[in-house]
Amino acid sequence: MFPSAREYLRKKLKTALDKIGIQVNGIELILDKPKNEQYGDFATNIAMLIAKKVGREPREIANEIVANLEIEPELVEKVEIAGPGFINFKLTPKFYIQRVYEILNQGENFGKLAIGKGKKANVEFVSANPTGPLTVGHGRNAALGDTIANILEWVGYDVTREYYFNNAGRQMRILADSVRLRYLELLGEEIVYPEEYYQGEYIKDIAKLLIDKYGDSLKNEKDLKIFKETAESVIFEDIKRTLAKLGIKFDVFYNEDWLYEKKIWEVVSELEKLGYIYEKDGAKWFKATKLGGGQDKVLVKSTGEPTYRLPDIAYHIEKFKRGFDLIIDVFGADHIAEYPDVLRALEALKYDTSKVKVLIYQFVTIVKDGEVVKMSTRKANYITLDELIDEVGPDVVRFFFLNRSRDAHLNFDLNLAKKQSEENPVYYLQYAHARIASILRFAKDSGIDVERTRDANMELLVEKEEIDLAKLLNEFPDIVEVAYLSLEPLKIINYLNEVAEAFHSFYHRHRVVNSNDMGLTLARLSLCVAAKIVIANGLKILGISRPEKM
RNA sequence: GCGCCCGUAGCUCAACGGAUAGAGCAACGGCCUUCUAAGCCGUGGGUUGCAGGUUCGAGUCCUGCCGGGCGCGCCA
């Protein structure tokens, strides 16, 4: 296997550092891509970092490192020391062409890594209780969670996509009674519909369903069971349908109820044994302050009922017990105050909380007709995720939600959503893919055996745009790694944008299919195929379709 | 009062502590008789909220302020 440029240089640098006998413990060997081309393809600041540690001149160390690099001249064009002590590398076109061969050989596996091989990951996301349709806010959660799961699969993890829900408690009772009242209303009874009940039209739809099924036989039904169960199943089906439109499918729907019988009480007694529990005002408190928390928290109310924290803790313990090496929670910013206490409890119970990654994304603000719309399932003044998908399509929805960092607030102007979608950046990526597909079709129609591209002599690629594109394609596995380390799908989008840009630029300047020069045609077609592979693999990770035609 | 996030071009947002802060949209000017113009090339647009600090180097880290968002319950 021919390594990526970063991998190659990193290895060479490590060998050189070993030879000099410099300890690089705790110093990360970073190979940066300089913005300015004059500084080469990659640069490292390692000499400066070492200098700081050992108190020597950075350039002197850089010199020593460079002197000990065992580099193949046919792969590395130039090594330079610059500025305060950067070491700059420029690789040869030959290097990048080797990488194009590598892409063609690996095909749809190009970019897959072995970091997570043999490890199990659990990604919990969406986790909306079945009280109503998914909101646009859930959409961000869904897109993030599913894409992060994709990234983990791409780096080798065995991934479980999990949805945690609670179909018990007060909100569900209100939901059931909301349905019951709408049911009576449809039967012509006078009802008073409380303001705090669910206001959405979907409640009436469920009530209608009950009339279709049971007529007026539930008129005097005092038990809410049938209303609750019907509402829950209808809403859950609806949620699943919406998620399916986004290409999302869960492996496990975990019911919070499963924890109540036994598991939460085990948590309490374990914590008690370790001295993290005390009683006050008839309630059981968790000593969060003993573990760095700002205030102690109630785990068991004076009524004997658990607070929401307790099942949360028990649930995470279950995940540990189920053998996951990596446990990811995708939460909205409203959970910001909740997870530290859960982690503290897990720590107290001696679980390795470094396995737990809590990903908090900032809120989606919806603007409609110039007004900020507060999302509330109960008030029904929201735009559903389903409506949004129908309006702009699943690709645009996923892209829209992924195309910013988790920490950034997301302004969603509904009036502009559709308009923007017509000029949406997602099409820029898809267009590059479709364009390549079109070129390949054209080549085939012109009687060229596209399969032969693997045997092409790619040394014929010498134009700047060709090498620039090859350079970028070479990086894809590095980018997947960065996306994995940061758990930020945005990294992949930014990269694909660069690839698409490089491809369009190449396409514009250089004709691919040219019957007068079959050698060059085959070489360029190979480059196109490689670009298509990279774009397709990237879009696959993002869960965005890869059109052959647009 | 306390905790977390944000503040970068007119708008929406990028930028592992690196060298001259970048894209898209919007504005302006070019490019289709040959493989997809959903594209390409170019122009204009910035005191990175403010003030200090850390260091070879700060949009990025630290402190304080200003402004916006989300939380801080014996609700979930």
Per-residue pLDDT, A549 = 93
CA dihedral A162, A480, A333, A426 (to 10 degrees): -100
**pTM for this predicted structure:** 0.95
Q: What is the ipTM of this complex?
A: 0.95
How far does the CA of A302 sit from the C1' of B72, in Å?
Answer: 21
- Domain boundary residue, one of A23, A58, A91: A91
Which protein residue lies nearest to nucleotide B14, measured between its Cα and the C1' atom?
Answer: A494
**Those residues with Cβ within 8 angstroms of residue A154's Cβ, 6 or more apart along the chain or in another chain:** A111, A112, A113, A480, A484, A541
Closest CA-bearing residue to C1' of B72: A337
For every residue of A6-65, which 3-state class applies, written as one string? HHHHHHHHHHHHHHHCCCCCCCCCCCECCCCHHHCCEEECHHHHHHHHHCCCHHHHHHHH
Q: Please name the residue whose C-alpha is nearest to the C1' of nucleotide B4.
A: A336
CA A528 to chain centroid, in Å, comes to: 27
A467: in domain = yes
Q: What is the pLDDT of residue A347?
A: 93
In this structure, the answer to whether residues A426 and A536 fall within a common structural domain is yes
Give distance CA A254 / C1' B5 (Å): 29
In angstroms, the CA A243 to CA A282 distance is 43
Q: How far apart are CA A98 and CA A106, in angstroms?
A: 12
Nucleotide nearest to A40 (CA to C1'): B19
**Cβ–Cβ < 8 Å for A178, A191:** no
Give distance CA A99 / C1' B37 (Å): 31
Token code pair at residue A58: 């950075």
CB atoms within 10 A of CB A468: 18
Point out the nucleotide closest to A434 (alpha carbon to C1′). B36
Angstrom distance, A152 CA to B48 C1'? 34
Distance, Å, A8 CA → B17 C1': 24
Q: Which long-range contacts (CB under 8 A, 24 or more apart) does A305-308 make?
A: A306/A260, A306/A264, A308/A338
Does some domain include residue A344? no
Of all nucleotides, the one whose C1′ comes closest to residue A310's CA is B76
* Backbone dihedral region for residue A247 (phi beyond 0: left; psi -120 to 50: alpha; all else: beta): left
Domain closes at, from A179, A210, A245: A245
What is the rounded (10 degree) CA torsion for A386, A387, A388, A391?
Answer: 130
Same domain, residue pair A107 and A51: no
Task: Measure Cα distances from A226 to A212, A234, A518 in Å.
Answer: 14, 12, 72
Q: Which nucleotide is nearest to A362 (CA to C1')?
A: B5
Nucleotide closest in space to A497 (CA vs C1'): B23
Lookup: nucleotide whose C1' is closest to A403 CA: B13
- Kindly state whether residue A482 falls inside one of the protein's structural domains: yes
* A103 and A206 both lie in a single domain: no
Q: How far is CA A153 from CA A395, A480, A483, A540, in A?
A: 20, 11, 12, 11
- Specify if A394 maps to a domain: no
Question: Which nt is closest to the CA of A372, judged by C1'?
Answer: B69
Residue nearest to nucleotide B3 (CA to C1'): A337
Query: Distances from the Cα of A421 to the Cαs of A127, A296, A342, in angstroms?
Result: 28, 48, 40
Nucleotides of B under 7 A from a protein CB: 2-7, 12-26, 34-41, 55-57, 68-76
Q: Which residue is nearest to nucleotide B22 (CA to C1')?
A: A35
Could you tell me if A101 and A79 lie in one domain? Answer: no
Closest CA to A518 of A450, A466, A464: A450
pLDDT on residue A51: 86
Distance of C1' in B1 from CA in A318, Å: 37
Instruction: Return the pLDDT at A249.
Output: 97
Q: Which residue is nearest to nucleotide B57 (CA to C1')?
A: A84
Give the domain extent around A210. 170-245
Same domain, A102 and A23: no
| Element at A114 (helix H, strand E) | none
Q: Token pair of A326, please?
A: 């990596």
Q: What tokens does A8 get? A: 């190659």
Q: Which pLDDT score, from 0 to 100, does residue A452 have?
A: 80
Q: CA of A521 and C1' of B61: distance in angstroms?
A: 51
Q: Are residue A492 and residue A507 in the same domain, yes or no? A: yes
Q: Which residue is nearest to nucleotide B12 (CA to C1')?
A: A411
Q: How far is the CA of A348 from the C1' of B5 (A)?
A: 27
Residue A351 placed within a domain: no
Q: Residue A32 and residue A97: Cα distance in Å, rounded?
A: 21
Q: Could you give the 3-state DSSP secondary structure of residue A71?
A: coil
Report the distance from CA of residue A411 to the C1' of nucleotide B49 in Å, as an integer.
20
Q: Which of A396, A390, A387 is nearest to A420 (CA)?
A: A396
Gap between the Cα atoms of A346 and A326, Å rounded: 14
| CB burial readout A161-190, b (16+ within 10 A) else e | bbbbbbbeeebbebbbbbbbbbbbeeeeee
Asked if the structure places residue A111 within a domain, the reply is yes
Q: Which pLDDT does position A37 carry in this prediction?
A: 86
Which amino acid residue lies closest to nucleotide B56, measuring CA to C1'?
A: A84
Going by C-alpha positions, the residue among A134, A139, A133 that lies closest to residue A205 is: A133
Q: Are residues A509 and A441 in the same domain?
A: yes
Domain CATH code at residue A10: 3.30.1360.70
Burial environment of residue A360 by CB neighbours within 10 A (0 to 12, 13 to 18, 19 or more): middle
**A349 domain residue, yes or no:** no
A279 DSSP β-pair partners: A284
Protein CA at A37 to nucleotide C1' at B57, angstroms: 20
Q: What are phi and psi of A68, to 5 degrees?
A: -105, 5
Q: How far apart are the first and last CA of chain A?
A: 35
Residues A430 and A524 in one domain: yes
Query: Is residue A428 domain-shared with residue A496, that is, in the same domain?
Result: yes
How many angstroms is C1' of B17 away from CA of A431?
A: 36
- Say if residue A239 is in the same domain as residue A196: yes
Query: Are residues A105 and A80 located together in one domain of the fold?
Result: no
How many folded domains does chain A comprise?
A: 3
Helices (H), A335-384: 339-348
Distance of CA A125 to the CA centre of its chain: 11
> Which nucleotide is closest, CA of A408 to its C1'?
B6
Give the integer Cα–Cα distance in Å for A429 and A431.
Answer: 5
Query: Pick from A215, A245, A275: which residue ends a domain?
Result: A245
Q: Which nucleotide is nearest to A82 (CA to C1')?
A: B19
Nearest DNA or RNA nucleotide to A524 (CA to C1'): B35
CATH number for position A433: 1.10.730.10
Residue A406's nearest nucleotide, by CA–C1', is B5
- Asked whether residue A49 falls in the same domain as residue A107, the answer is no
Residue A190 maps to a domain: yes
Distance A467 CA to B36 C1' (A): 23
A544 close to A493: Cβ distance less than 8 angstroms:
no
Locus of tokens 């909205």: A332
pLDDT for the residue numbered A374: 64
**Between the CA of A438 and the C1' of B34, what is the distance in angstroms?**
14
Average pLDDT per 10 consecutive residues for chain A, totaling 550 residues: 94 91 76 90 92 85 93 94 93 96 96 96 96 92 97 98 92 93 95 90 95 95 93 96 97 94 93 94 93 90 92 96 97 90 94 94 78 64 85 91 91 71 83 96 91 85 94 96 95 96 95 92 96 97 95
Separation of A371 CA and B57 C1' (Å): 44
